[in-house]
Amino acid sequence: MPDFQLGSYKPALLASRRFSWTLLPPALGSLALILLLVVVVDYVRMLQQRRKLPPGPFPFPLIGNHLAIPKVKPWLAWEKWAAHYNDPLLTLWVGRKPTIIVNDAWSASDLLEKRDKLYSSRPHIIVMGDMLNQTETNQTCAVYGDHWRLHRRLTHTVVGSQAVRGHYSVQANESKILTRNLMDDATTYVMSIERYSISVVSIIGWGRRIDRMNDYIAQTALKFMESVDYIVPGAFWMESIPQLARLPSWIYPLPSAIFNGAKHTQRYFYQLSKEAAQKPGDNFAKTIIKGQQEYGLADEDVAGLTANLIGGGVDTTSSSIITTILAMCAFPEAQREAHEELDRVVGRDRSPALSDETSLPYISAIVEEALRWRTVTVLGGIPHAPTHDDVYRGFHIPAGTPIIGNVWAIHRHPREFPDPDVFRPERFLNGPERRPYPNKKGHNAFGWGRRQCSGQPLAQQGLLLTIARLLWAFDMKPGLDESGNQVRLDVFAYTKSENMRPEPFPARFTPRSEKIAEIIRDEAERAREALRIYDGETKLTMENVP
């Protein structure tokens, strides 16, 4: 009779000087049996834990709901699943661990705003965290604690509400150039908007203006931003089975390829910051490099702090502007109201200025509605996680559980936003269309509680001044097809990225008068002169970084 006990085989195997194949099948059998037992015990644990968690699809052992999670725009399915289970909270098993998806504003606020002392950490993230070497060194992924606080404080010095007043003229000048670019060539309006967003943060971060869209840093930045999709549950097997990330590279080369690439990118951003520190004038990189020793920052921390200006601020801002253009083309009555307000407050003989901001409530409402209507960060950026176990509505939420706000569902809930796909700035005016919402702002485009977007003041200031200027300048209309007919716009045609934006659509930007066209040209020229102090090239590339 073969012996199926691994324990008794071990000495036999070791003692045997010549390997005997006859021993292998029973040994493997025993191993398989033990593994099976481990899996069964673990599955029983999962199922017991599941009984105390919010509802959700039934998980498989080891892989949980990995196969059930749609690989494209999963937020659409989660909105439906929450309705199916009749609960705004939904549990998904990413491998052996639960993730909670929150599908309405009030539950999200209960957890992430009212209990923000508990829910302001981040879960252990394998790909975007460990693989990209960001778990310890980047504010976006760092766990709640002193190191994260230091990062947040430093970021605040450059994009906090006080600091951003100092960036107004850079944003205003770049938006004047953007307006002229749209007037001159509507076919490249998306690229012009991206150049504008990158240039603003590049000047603030490294003191260097981006003049061309094919600029090396701009292109590197755009590539860098693609990593935002690494966070979507179900995107990587490694997230479901973290052990895969520890396999030797000759078996599974992906983890080390990602890690080495990330280290290289961090070296690049560090060197870029060191280079910027030598420039005349102020920039964020200079401040951080100067304080590196005093704050005890590793080179990777410096890279993270500076690169976050791009990672956080470029795609988000560009996509929100493009969304607003889509809304203006698709909902001309909102555009008419905006023009009426601008004509009344600003007139057509000068462009809007900082002092007009408080007198343009409808334009402000357009910005808020655009952030609500098609929120760029459709899953609220990066998941939160509680630092301790918690009980909410009788559910037991273990420490470290990823909590994802499904902003797609939250911002389209008909209770808060009737006819949610209709663009109605009136929702954000203090009139009858304003519905109760758990926070004063009336939406969560910038996240929740202590973790909410550090760059919000910069983003809001830039969006308001840019949208006001574009609306003052142009009649925005859908582009024309080959037969000269206006194209039909699809307000649901959005990319599948977690930082979503409209699929490309043609648009026309017609100056609202001859005089306005003249002002656009004149202001752009003067803005270009004012920004000349930030001109300059860098020889540093990813290929030659030391």
Residues annotated within a binding site for heme? 453
Q: Which CB sits closer to ligand HEM, 126 or 445?
A: 445
Q: How far apart are CA 152 and CA 405, in angstroms?
A: 21
454 near ligand HEM, judged by CB under 6 A: yes
Which residue's structure tokens are 């673990």?
42
Residue showing the smallest CB distance to ligand HEM in the complex:
455
Q: For the CB of residue 34, give the shortest distance to ligand HEM in the complex, in Å.
A: 41
288 near ligand HEM, judged by CB under 6 A: no
Q: Which CB sits closer to ligand HEM, 54 or 304?
A: 304
- How large is the angle between the packed helices 6-15 and 24-51, nearest 10 degrees? 140
Q: How far apart are CA 279 and CA 204, in angstroms?
A: 13
Q: Which CB sits closer to ligand HEM, 127 or 516?
A: 127
The string of DSSP letters for 327-370 reads HHHH-HHHHHHHHHHHHHHT-SSS---GGGGGG-HHHHHHHHHH
How many residues are listed for the chain in this entry? 546
448 near ligand HEM, judged by CB under 6 A: yes
Q: For the CB of residue 103, give the shortest distance to ligand HEM in the complex, in Å.
A: 16
Q: For the CB of residue 428, give the shortest distance to ligand HEM in the complex, in Å.
A: 15
Q: For the CB of residue 162, give the shortest distance to ligand HEM in the complex, in Å.
A: 15
Binding residues, by number, are 453
Q: For the CB of residue 52, give the shortest distance to ligand HEM in the complex, in Å.
A: 25
Interface residue with ligand HEM among 27, 262, 376, 527 (CB under 6 A) is 376
Q: Which CB sits closer to ligand HEM, 129 or 380?
A: 380
Interface residue with ligand HEM among 154, 445, 468, 500 (CB under 6 A) is 445
Q: Which CB sits closer to ligand HEM, 46 or 190?
A: 190
The string of DSSP letters for 81-142 reads HHHHHT-SEEEEEETTEEEEEE-SHHHHIIIIIITTTTS-B----IIIIIITT-TTT-TTTP
Which residue's structure tokens are 């003191």?
207
> SS3 for 62?
coil
139 near ligand HEM, judged by CB under 6 A: yes
Question: Which tokens belong to 494?
Answer: 């959005």
The phi, psi pair for 81, rounded to 5°, reads: -60, -40
Site string for ligand HEM, 170-209 (x = CB under 6 A): -------------------------------x--------
Q: For the CB of residue 225, give the shortest distance to ligand HEM in the complex, in Å.
A: 12
The phi, psi pair for 473, rounded to 5°, reads: -75, -40
Q: For the CB of residue 525, give the shortest distance to ligand HEM in the complex, in Å.
A: 27
Q: How would you list the strands of the sheet with 89-94, edge to edge?
A: 89-94, 97-102, 403-405
Q: For the CB of residue 2, give the shortest distance to ligand HEM in the complex, in Å.
A: 56
Task: Report the amino acid identity of residue 155.
Answer: T
Which of 448, 457, 410 minimizes the C-alpha distance to 120?
448
User: In the Cβ-directed half-sphere of 417, how many Cα atoms lie within 13 Å?
Assistant: 26
With 0-12 CB in 10 A as exposed, 13-18 as middle and 19+ as buried, what is 409?
Answer: buried
Q: Which CB sits closer to ligand HEM, 23 or 163?
A: 163
User: Stretches 215-223, 446-454, 469-477, 511-519: which one binds ligand HEM (CB under 6 A)?
Assistant: 446-454
> SS3 for 373?
helix
Q: Which CB sits closer to ligand HEM, 382 or 465?
A: 382
455 near ligand HEM, judged by CB under 6 A: yes
> SS3 for 495?
coil
111 near ligand HEM, judged by CB under 6 A: no
User: Stretches 21-29, 48-56, 163-171, 445-453: which one binds ligand HEM (CB under 6 A)?
Assistant: 445-453
Site residues for ligand HEM, 4-33, by CB under 6 A, read none
Asked if 486 contacts 480 with a C-beta cutoff of 8 angstroms, the reply is yes
The string of DSSP letters for 432-466 reads TTPPP-SSSSS--TT--GGGS-TTHHHHHHHHHHH
Asked if 109 contacts 439 with a C-beta cutoff of 8 angstroms, the reply is yes
Q: How far apart are CA 283 and CA 32, in angstroms?
A: 59
Q: For the CB of residue 512, give the shortest distance to ligand HEM in the complex, in Å.
A: 26
User: Stretches 73-81, 186-194, 287-295, 452-460: which one binds ligand HEM (CB under 6 A)?
Assistant: 452-460
The phi, psi pair for 97, rounded to 5°, reads: -120, 140
Site string for ligand HEM, 299-328 (x = CB under 6 A): ---------xx--xx--xx--x--------
User: Stretches 128-136, 161-169, 352-360, 455-463: which one binds ligand HEM (CB under 6 A)?
Assistant: 455-463
Interface residue with ligand HEM among 88, 98, 255, 380 (CB under 6 A) is 380
User: Stretches 94-102, 152-160, 275-283, 355-363: which one binds ligand HEM (CB under 6 A)?
Assistant: 152-160
Q: For the CB of residue 289, give the shortest distance to ligand HEM in the complex, in Å.
A: 18
408 near ligand HEM, judged by CB under 6 A: no
Q: For the CB of residue 310, give the shortest distance to ligand HEM in the complex, in Å.
A: 8
Which residue's structure tokens are 């010549």?
18
* Residue 409, phi-psi category: left (phi > 0), alpha (psi -120 to 50), beta (remainder): alpha
446 near ligand HEM, judged by CB under 6 A: yes
Q: For the CB of residue 447, give the shortest distance to ligand HEM in the complex, in Å.
A: 2
Q: How far apart are CA 321 and CA 104, in angstroms?
A: 25
89 near ligand HEM, judged by CB under 6 A: no
Q: Which residues pair with residue 510 across a beta bridge? A: 475
Site for ligand HEM, rule CB under 6 A? 139-140, 152, 155, 159, 201, 308-309, 312-313, 316-317, 320, 376-377, 380-382, 384, 445-448, 451-455, 458-459
